[in-house]
Amino acid sequence: MTDITIYHNPSCGTSRNTLALIRNSGVEPAIILYLENPPSRDELITMIAGMGICVRALVRKNVEPYEKLGLSDDKFSDDALLDAMLAYPILINRPIVVTPKGTRLCRPSEIVLDILPDAQKGAFTKEDGEKVIDETGQLIIKGAAYE
């Protein structure tokens, strides 16, 4: 049994890159297709607390239900935002990765490197051609994006 879980959307490039980085560390994670099997309210609350973020920070803004539900309005409580994410799982930003070293919303995908127990096993290039890990398994730093 693996001790790494990814809440994954295979249609999302960031999610696919994050999964590939986990696999590049030599681990096959538990993959939860959260659109088909959304987390429970308690699981969502636990993940948000583990990430140290507010509920609103996990709400995905660039999807249809966000505008339709008027979620940009400050009047929504954390409970109301949780209700919306549970009713419309597409509103849960992703990918979320849970490891023994922590829980993170992995946007950009390289954030997963902070919580992986094992080092990268080799070079890694994102789907868009951006090189992230060199042949020695070290992170390639590119400007302020990774500082």
Q: How many whole angstroms separate alpha carbon 61 and alpha carbon 85?
A: 11
Return the DSSP state at 40.
Answer: P
Q: How many whole angstroms separate alpha carbon 24 and alpha carbon 18?
A: 10
* Annotation marks residue 106 as catalytic: no
| Contact partners, residue 121, CB within 8 Å, separation at least 6 | 24, 25, 26, 137
Q: Of the listed 1, 11, 12, 42, which one is catalytic?
A: 12
* Residue whose entry in the numeric block shows the structure tokens 């992995």: 106
Residues catalogued as catalytic: 12
